[in-house]
Chain A
C-alpha cells in the first residue's frame, strides 16, 4: 500500500462543507472512481463534514489517495476536538439525532462507502475515516 498524495482541508463554516464536497469529487475523479460510487462518496462527505462543523464545532478533513495494487482508493478522515459522542451505539441508529437533523448522517454515510471507522469518546472529539475503492 502506497500513499500517492495527501492533504488537509479545514472545515469551520458552511461554505467549507461545500468546498469539502467539491474537493472529494475532484480527488475521486482522479482516482478513477465511477460516477455512482463517486456520487455516494460525495454525499457521505457532505454528511460527515456537516457533522464536523455542527456537532464537532469545526475541524479538518484529511485526504489520501492510496494505491493498493490493483485498486486505488480515496481515504478521508474527519477530525474534530468537539464533545465526542457519549453513546455511539445510539448515534449509529437510523433516525436518531441529538440535534435537529433526520438522523441519517452517520448511518447513511456508512452505507455509502466501502470502509467506515469511527473513534470517539466524551470530551475526546470524534474521528471518522471512510474509504472508497475503485
Chain B
C-alpha cells in the first residue's frame, strides 16, 4: 500500500508530503502519525507541505485533525512551507486552520518545536 514516510528526529516526527495525495492516502497518514506518536512518545510533529501546490478542504481537515489529536497525545504540530498561492486559496475557501501552528520553513518550524519542548 502507498504510504507517506514519517521520519524520526530525536523527540520529533518529520513528515514531508511530496505527492499529490488522494483522500485515502491522507487518511492513512493521519492514522500512521497517531500510531507513531504513541509508539515513539514524540513531543512534536513537523509537517512540510512546501511541495504541495494545492490544499483543499479534505487535506485541510486532515491537517486540523492531526494537530488536534497530537495535542491530546501531548505533542505539538507545526505546519511549514505553505506556498503563498495555497495560503490565499485556503483563506478564500474558508479554511483558516484555527489552532494549527505554522512556520515559514522547516528550520523555523524545528526552532519553534524545540523552544516549546524546552518551555515545558
Contact (A42, B93) CB under 8 Å given A17-B22, A36-B88: no
Q: Is the CB of A35 within 8 A of B56?
A: no
A88 to B94, CA, bound (A): 19
Q: B89's contact among A17, A22, A40, A50, by CB below 8 Å, is which?
A: A40
B107: interface (CB < 8 Å): no
A22 to B53, CA, bound (A): 11
A107: interface (CB < 8 Å): yes
A107 to B92, CA, bound (A): 10
By CB atoms of chain A within 10 A, which of B24, B54, B86 has the most?
B54
Distance to closest chain A CB from B114 (angstroms): 32
In A86-100, the 8 Å CB interface with B consists of 94
Q: Is the CB of A102 within 8 A of B95?
A: yes
Q: Is the CB of B58 within 8 A of A101?
A: yes
Determine chain B's interface SS by DSSP, over half rule. Answer: helix
Flag A7-30 by CB within 8 Å of B: 1 or 0 each. Answer: 000000011011001100100000
Q: Is the CB of A108 within 8 A of B54?
A: no
Contact (A17, B92) CB under 8 Å given A43-B56, A46-B54: no
Distance to closest chain B CB from A2 (angstroms): 29
A16 to B115, CA, bound (A): 42
Q: Is the CB of B20 within 8 A of A104?
A: no
A46 to B23, CA, bound (A): 11
B71: interface (CB < 8 Å): no
Please give, as numbers and ranges, the residues of chain A lying within 8 Å of B24 by CB-CB distance: 14
Q: Please name 15 pairs of A and B residues whose Cβ atoms are closer than 8 Å in the assembled complex, sorted by A.
A: A17-B23, A18-B22, A25-B53, A39-B54, A39-B83, A39-B89, A40-B89, A40-B92, A43-B93, A47-B56, A50-B56, A102-B57, A104-B57, A108-B93, A112-B89
Interface residues of B (CB under 8 A from A): 20-24, 53-58, 60-61, 83-86, 88-89, 92-95
